Amino acid sequence: MVKVTLALAAFVAVVAASPRSKRTMHVHERRENVPSGYVKDGAAPSDHVLNLRLALVQSNFKSLEDKLYAVSTPGNAEYGQHLSKEQVEALVAPSSDTTSAVKDWLSSHDISSNTISPAGDWVGINVTVKQANTLLDADYSTFTHQSTDEQTIRTLSYSIPADLKSHLSLVHPTVAFPVKPFGSPKVVGKFSKKSNLTADAAPASCATSFTPTCAQQLYGIPSAPATQPSNRIAVAGFIDQWANLADLKSFLQTYRTDISPSTTFSTVLIDGGENDQSTPGIEANLDTQYTVGVATGVPNEFVSVGENNPDGIDGFLDIINELLGEDDVPNVLTTSYSFNEPDLPFSIANNLCNAYAQLGARGTSIFFSSGDGGVSGGQSQSCTTFVPTFPSTCPFITSVGGTTGIPETAVDFSSGGFSTLFAIPDYQSADVSAYLSKLGSTNAGLFNKTGRAFPDLAAFGVNVEIVFGGEFGTVDGTSCSTPITASLFALLNDELIAAGKSPLGFLNPFIYANQGAFTDITSGDNPGCSTDGFSAGTGWDPVTGVGSPIYSVLRTAAGL
């Protein structure tokens, strides 16, 4: 309560103290209060230099979205005809009017800018706090995070000239405070020097010890190596989690004795990312072990995104812009990290979601874990309304929930629900309406019936065997389900490319059109916020989506 009052007082002071500039200024974004965990210290030093980035309005995002659906919807005349780098950039580049309107405004303040994204929709400027306060009618202040003592400079509100509203979508850093993604599976079994399992035969019980062989058996995933060198699976790494090569080797020596133990991944470093082999990351190890270990023979790339990320969303946008800058994008990108949607301003979430649409149009299948807090968000927490997770709520990515047991049921931590930012896309609207009519008034008022619903599908997510720091043990989480699912689709892409066909690209229209290619998960629920959450049932549900994949049926559905 005290915090809220302080924040409101600060905001009122900003408005009162703002100098009026000659051009009519309109408040572009503002937040009502300081996010929980932060306290405001006072004005930021006026000569401190801010590296600001401005997102220009994309000229033709609607056409890009139409193209994305055309190339991703089975039966469409353009199905599989993914766009080139140049084609995507032409659709999202800002118009010359937009670029000059923004540049003229900056020059009128003697500020020069440079282009910082492949399509030219982001520009960067370096200005002092004093200049930024004048340019944006802002009140840049220093805030301290109470538990980490980390200081950050932000403003609770900023304005732009009224006539630039249709040209400028957002400025960062302004009102978006640093957010850390959730990741990291939960450790279940005690880690020990020796594996409890022998060779790579399936364990006596895959339900209690899940290995790559279990994934192959459960979903019919082939063990024969992929053949296409142009096919690539990328694994995203964040929060200083590094994938360990020695651990991967002992994982393969134990669980994939049929392939070379030196099978490995390449590493790409962005935003000051590292590849420190002395400190393995549990999430990074899980993700690389279950992509190298399941997507047999598919070229594998670990993208380590560092903490020097200026994009306002912990490097999540930087990695996408990095990939969009390449002529050949990976066919699959898997990420087992997520945010709670309410922690993000719509402007930043929407800009990133649009970047996923661009990568999807290029032909990448993008997977995100749905989260491990049931209906309470990325991690279990107390809540009064359900907390959806992002990027799962972005309609342009594929969200993966979790299952347990054989035969599979929904696992109780599997996050799922409905966006409060993004509207429901056509590809799922009939299935979601069918679910909502069965649901009736259960959970009414706790979620947004018109939002994009997630997850889209699910896979096994408990008692998953990994190697970490030279020891063997098991972990739980949708962090496990995601690389397993991504690997299955990477192998389908290999077969498609070998047959001279296009890779699958953005998957959701294909998934909802081919529900017979999934094992419907019909029991279990995802409790949270002092409720039982949602229940899995016949058809799509916000716990396990359309169900878990069946390789052989997906093969046929993909035209193989």
Ligand X SMILES: *[C@@H]1O[C@H](CO)[C@@H](O)[C@H](O)[C@H]1NC(C)=O
Which residues are the active-site residues?
283, 287, 479
CB of 252 to ligand X, least distance (A): 17
CB closer to ligand X, 445 vs 500: 445
Distances (CA, A) of 188 to 184, 252, 361: 12, 21, 39
Which listed range, 110-118, 160-168, 278-286, 387-395, lies at the site for ligand X (CB under 6 A)? 110-118
112 is an interface residue for ligand X by CB under 6 A: yes
Per-residue binding string, ligand X, 190-209, x by CB under 6 A, is x-x---x-------------
131 is an interface residue for ligand X by CB under 6 A: no
Distances (CA, A) of 252 to 198, 231, 247, 264, 293: 12, 21, 9, 10, 7
126 is an interface residue for ligand X by CB under 6 A: yes
Burial of 382 (0-12, 13-18, 19+ CB in 10 A): exposed
User: In angstroms, rounded to a whole number, what is the distance separating the alpha carbons of residues 401 and 481?
Assistant: 7
22 is an interface residue for ligand X by CB under 6 A: no
At 217, which helix (H) or strand (E)? helix 212-219
CB of 20 to ligand X, least distance (A): 27
185 is an interface residue for ligand X by CB under 6 A: no
Find the helix packing angle between 61-72 and 85-92, rounded to 10°. 140
Distances (CA, A) of 277 to 13, 186, 245, 280, 281: 49, 22, 7, 6, 10
Residue 520 among known ligand-binding residues: yes
347 is an interface residue for ligand X by CB under 6 A: no
DSSP H helical ranges for 421-550: 426-439, 478-498, 508-513
Options 125, 214, 218, 480; binder of ligand X; rule CB under 6 A: 125
Contact present, 159 and 25 (Cβ < 8 Å)? yes
CB of 500 to ligand X, least distance (A): 40
CB closer to ligand X, 188 vs 259: 188
211 is an interface residue for ligand X by CB under 6 A: no
CA 498 from centre of chain: 29
User: In angstroms, rounded to a whole number, what is the distance separating the alpha carbons of residues 286 and 483?
Assistant: 8
76 is an interface residue for ligand X by CB under 6 A: no
451 is an interface residue for ligand X by CB under 6 A: yes
Count the alpha carbons within 13 Å of 359 in the hemisphere toward its beta carbon.
Answer: 31
User: In angstroms, rounded to a whole number, what is the distance separating the alpha carbons of residues 552 and 549?
Assistant: 9
CB of 51 to ligand X, least distance (A): 5
Q: How many residues does the chain have?
A: 560
Residue 541 among known ligand-binding residues: yes
223 is an interface residue for ligand X by CB under 6 A: no
User: What would the two tokens of residue 441 be?
Assistant: 């008034």
87 is an interface residue for ligand X by CB under 6 A: no
128 is an interface residue for ligand X by CB under 6 A: no
Options 24, 46, 51, 76; binder of ligand X; rule CB under 6 A: 51
Per-residue binding string, ligand X, 456-485, x by CB under 6 A, is ----------------xxx-----------
CB of 429 to ligand X, least distance (A): 11
CB of 12 to ligand X, least distance (A): 26
The one-letter amino acid code at 39 reads: V
Please enumerate, by residue number, every residue annotated as part of a binding site for Ca(2+): 520-521, 539, 541
For ligand X, the binding residues (CB under 6 A) are 51, 112-114, 124-126, 189-190, 192, 196, 420, 423, 448, 450-451, 472-474
